[in-house]
């Protein structure tokens, strides 16, 4: 069944029957949440496919291009030096906070996220599997050394003095990248790994990249603990997320979806809400608390 939570009013559903049906589906079952970019749009981080996607049509970074082409890495880091401050300043929204509350209450067993922003952890979620890594970390492609993205920012700024002042307003992308005129990229200096001099890469899985096997194994272990799969803010276009919906359907595990717009998993959904996560999850939390002792 499909319902909609509208933009008017204090987040109350237009069709409460669907929200109550979702609460009934989750109540008394171990819930595993699968989250996508739609969870973070209300924190100011746009996605590639949802209604808040940036108006530009620049494609996302491709893994093979980043690891093989210096000019691609140069452009990425030139854009990232601008996008990182705004990206790293993002804070959890009501959806992140409600999901953490549901975990603390024992409703949610854990979160499998496609996001790279760390906002679930910042909101208080304890069991989080980051399928696509985290932008807050950087690793060397040669020796594997890791460092904090904040530390790299200082090195980039020192090596490119005056760059921020020369840059105009830019549009932030979901991977911390940003729009930047070609002429500003030409003189940008990329810094190497301080350990071995190798090429640095954000510790994320770019489009076309492979999720590390230990991460996949941890995600499946968490998935196996769930009795309901709750998809939040994902179009499920990328297979790394969709495979969990497909496995749930194969096993007869109920799937519930909250997302703005259609998703690849809609045919498998027992309940579906077309809603912003920051509206829907607090409403769901209230619906669950009405018959629970944890509120």
Quote the crossing angle between the two packed helices 70-88 and 149-159, to the nearest 10°.
120
Q: What residues contact 146, with CB distance under 8 A and at least 6 apart?
A: 137, 138, 139, 140, 203
Residue 220 to residues 126, 145, 216: CA-CA distances in angstroms?
A: 17, 27, 6
Catalytic residue of the set 132, 150, 189, 268: 132
N- to C-terminal Cα distance for the chain? 27
* Residue 53 CB contacts under 8 Å (≥ 6 apart), including other chains: 46, 47
Tell me the C-alpha distance between 295 and 285, whole Å.
9
Q: Where are the alpha helices (DSSP H) in the chain?
A: 16-26, 63-68, 70-88, 94-104, 119-123, 149-159, 163-166, 182-185, 213-225, 239-251, 277-289
Question: Rounded to an integer, what distance in angstroms lies between the CA atom of residue 243 and that of residue 56?
Answer: 29
Planar angle of CA 204, 208, 214, nearest 5 degrees: 50
Which residue is associated with the tokens 């307003």?
169
CA distances from 238 to 36, 65, 131, 245, 290 (A): 10, 19, 11, 12, 36
Residue 179 burial (10 A CB sphere; 0-12, 13-18, 19+): middle
Mark whether 120 is an active-site residue: no
Question: Known catalytic residues?
Answer: 132
């Amino acid at each position: 069944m499909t319902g909609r939570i509208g933009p008017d009013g204090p987040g109350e559903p237009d069709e409460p029957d669907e929200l109550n049906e979702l609460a009934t589906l989750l109540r008394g079952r171990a819930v595993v949440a699968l989250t996508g970019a739609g969870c973070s749009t209300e924190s100011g981080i746009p996605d590639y496919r949802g209604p808040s996607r940036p108006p530009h049509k620049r494609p996302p970074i491709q893994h093979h291009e980043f690891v093989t082409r210096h000019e691609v890495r140069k452009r990425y880091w030139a854009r990232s030096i601008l996008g990182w401050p705004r990206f790293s300043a993002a804070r959890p929204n009501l959806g992140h906070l409600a999901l953490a509350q549901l975990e603390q209450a024992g409703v949610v067993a854990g979160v499998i996220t496609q996001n790279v922003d760390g906002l679930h952890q910042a909101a208080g979620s304890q069991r989080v599997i980051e399928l696509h890594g985290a932008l807050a970390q950087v690793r060397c492609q040669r020796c594997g050394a890791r460092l904090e993205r904040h530390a790299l920012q200082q090195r980039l700024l020192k090596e490119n003095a005056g760059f921020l002042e020369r840059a105009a307003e830019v549009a932030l992308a979901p991977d911390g990248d940003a729009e930047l005129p070609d002429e500003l990229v030409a003189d940008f200096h990329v810094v190497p790994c301080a350990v071995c001099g190798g090429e640095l890469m954000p510790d994320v899985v770019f489009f076309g990249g492979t999720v590390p096997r230990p991460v996949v194994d941890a995600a499946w272990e968490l998935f196996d603990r769930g009795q309901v799969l709750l998809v939040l803010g994902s179009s499920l276009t990328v297979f790394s997320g969709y495979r969990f919906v497909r496995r749930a359907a194969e096993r007869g595990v109920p799937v519930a979806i909250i997302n703005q717009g259609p998703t690849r998993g809609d045919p498998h959904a027992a309940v579906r809400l077309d809603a912003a996560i920051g509206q829907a999850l607090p409403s769901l939390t209230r619906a669950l608390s009405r018959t629970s002792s944890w509120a």
